[in-house]
Amino acid sequence: MQFAEETKILTCILCPFGCQLEVAFKVDVPKPEIVEVNGNRCKRGQAYAVLEATDPRRMVTSFVCVPGSLEPLSVKTAAPVPKSQVKDILAAIQDIKATMPVAIGEVLLQDVCGTGVDVVATKTLKKKPPTGGVDHETR
């Protein structure tokens, strides 16, 4: 049986060479099947092209407001997630209800959108000691 083929041109983003990759893959099959990759200078580029053509993934970064903190909390997915789910993941991140204090690396949302990937804090937010007022004990 003859399958239709398509070609995608991608730029490898794994190193500064930025090789132009030409990926040929079968369509009309349940899952895209790679036929050939050209233009890569190394094996990493080959693997990148296969993944990008069949299951593209991205790291997602965003911010969350935390009551009691004047600065937003930066967060990210702990691993790349399917590109098709990025919009839903950003919406899920906006629903996170974090409370102070937050430690860097703390898991704020497990298995976001069923991806098996957690959303984690990328910085620490500590409660600030109360300021102002007079400490009557030391007078």
Among 6, 7, 8, 14, binds ligand SF4 (CB under 6 A): 14
Please tell me what DSSP assigns to residue 17. Answer: T
8 scored as a contact of ligand SF4 (CB under 6 A): no
Of residues 22-61, which lie at the interface with ligand SF4 (CB under 6 A)? 40-42, 44-45
- What's the first-to-final CA gap in the chain, in angstroms? 92
Q: Could you tell me the smallest distance in angstroms from the CB atom of residue 126 to ligand SF4?
A: 39
Stretch that binds ligand SF4, among 2-10, 16-24, 98-106, 108-116 (CB under 6 A): 16-24
Among 8, 18, 65, 124, binds ligand SF4 (CB under 6 A): 18
Please tell me what DSSP assigns to residue 3. Answer: P
Measured from each CB, the residue nearest to ligand SF4 is 45
- The encoded tokens of residue 130 equal 């109360």
Q: Could you tell me the smallest distance in angstroms from the CB atom of residue 32 to ligand SF4?
A: 20
Query: What is the number of residues in the chain?
Result: 139
| H helices present in 4-102, as ranges | 43-54, 86-94
Phi, psi of 8 (to 5 degrees): -120, 140
Q: Could you tell me the smallest distance in angstroms from the CB atom of residue 50 to ligand SF4?
A: 12
**CA separation, residue 82 to residues 62, 106, 128 (Å):** 16, 22, 38
